[in-house]
Amino acid sequence: MKKSLNEDYTSRALTLGIVGGLRSQLPMAALALRRGSAPASAGWREWPILRSKWGRVALVAAGAGEMVGDKLPITPSRLEPKALLGRIAFGGLAGAAIGTEGRGTQPLLVGILLGAVGSVAGSFVGYHVRRKLGQWTGLPDPVVALGEDATAIALAAHATRLD
């Protein structure tokens, strides 16, 4: 039996948080791209930045820009305190968006919590897996990072599916 959006918001909020740990701007970019197909009951559809065409363009541009910036040698580690706090905030925001698909305030709070927790997990696991893959394969970091991009995109597509 297929779960409704309300029944599976927890796994989707957690997954979108994990995506935020890998690429902090990607969860909101994914929501911006999916807004047109979101059900009317998805409260995030009506967030001002997502209602605005230029807001959605800015979110998608930020997601794309981060993927480019991530490959630069001057980019700080995602585990530095400021970067990690930002990822937690973006993960919580994405979880809040998914939580609006539930009924009442509990799904919203659970979505925020799961998004934030997912972003911490995604940050640490992503960092260590990327380092280890580079060591094991001998591939340069930007090449390994492309694999991380693909993983983050696939997870974001899955978490924002609206079928």
Return phi, psi of residue 38, to 5°: -75, 145
Residue 39's CB is within 10 A of a number of other CB atoms, namely 10
Q: Give residue 161's pLDDT band: very low, low, confident or very high (50, 70, 90).
A: confident
Which positions ≥6 away from 140 have C-beta within 8 Å?
134
Distance CA 37, CA 5 (A): 13
3 domain-assigned: no
86 domain-assigned: yes
- What the block records as the tokens of 26 is 């990607």
Distance CA 145, CA 131 (A): 10
For the chain, the straight-line distance linking the first and the last C-alpha, in angstroms and rounded, comes to 13
Give SS3 for 63: helix
Contact 62, 86 (CB under 8 A): no
154 domain-assigned: yes
1 domain-assigned: no
Number of domains in the chain: 1
4 domain-assigned: no
Work out the average pLDDT over 106-117. Answer: 95
92 domain-assigned: yes
2 domain-assigned: no
Work out the average pLDDT over 152-162. Answer: 92
3 has a pLDDT exceeding 80: no
Helix (H) or strand (E) holding 13: helix 9-22
Helix (H) or strand (E) holding 87: helix 81-99
Q: Which domain does 108 fall in, by range?
A: 9-159
Contact 22, 148 (CB under 8 A): yes
Per-residue pLDDT tens for 42-54? 899 999 999 999 9
40 domain-assigned: yes
Per-residue pLDDT tens for 92-108? 999 999 999 877 788 99
User: At 123, which amino acid appears?
Assistant: S
pLDDT at 7: 53
163 has a pLDDT exceeding 90: no
